[in-house]
Amino acid sequence: MEDNHRTKGQLYQLFSRLAGALANPHRLELLDLLVQAPRTVDDLAQAVHMSAANTSQHLQRLKQANLVVYEREGLFIRYRLADPAVARLWFELRSVAELQLAEVERALSAYRPKRDDFEKISMAELQERMIEDGVLLLDVRPEVEYQAGHLPGAVSIPLEELEQRLGEIPPDMLIVAYCRGPYCVFADQALELLSSRGWNVVRLEEGVAEWQFAGNLLEI
């Protein structure tokens, strides 16, 4: 019986290896970015405001747990999620945190102070509205994420380019903006700018991963 319990303990040790790899806010942020698109170490380091060396160390820890894999491209190393199940694990972790930790709601409100300023549209409503004329679906994520996969019919104008490209947006259309999902502020900032210039705007809270998990297809 004792030997059997020891063998079972080895299973829990393996599970704890994966949990240990996730038990760091920097590594979770890296996973969140890799859900959107594969990236090089330098790109990830810039996005998370860490040195390339520190970013590489965190990525190695994720790789040791088989959560990410990498490919060499000349002098660069590009990381991606090892399996779509890793993205689902991240979303389930978020969901449990939302249910069990009241602090999540307070932290999200602090990060997205404008999140209740704009009307929201559901994925089902969006699919119905996109059949109609007069609706523009705007992807305000970085171009690399748009190229990796985006919602059908979405137009890419990264947030950092939006003010300079306002002339590309028809003034009489309903603008539906989305970004990386409910823990991303890009769409809020885009809608704040657009609404101040007179556009009729709404936000899609979900991002590409949530769209896929709901059984919908992406365009590439």
Active site amino acids: 179
Contact 39, 62 (CB under 8 A): no
The amino acid at 7:
T
Q: Which of the 8 DSSP states describes residue 219?
A: B
Q: Classify residue 187 by burial, with Cβ atoms within 10 Å: 0-12, 13-18, 19+.
A: buried
Q: How far apart are CA 192 and CA 58, in angstroms?
A: 34
Choose among 133, 180, 142, 144: nearest CA to 162.
142
Structure tokens at 44: 């990830």
DSSP 127-174: HHHTTSSSEEEEE-S-HHHHHH-B-TT-EE--HHHHGGGGGGS-TTSE
Tokens (6 digits) for 140: 């305000």
Q: How far apart are CA 112 and CA 130, in angstroms?
A: 26
C-alpha distances in angstroms, 69 versus 43, 73, 218? 16, 13, 22
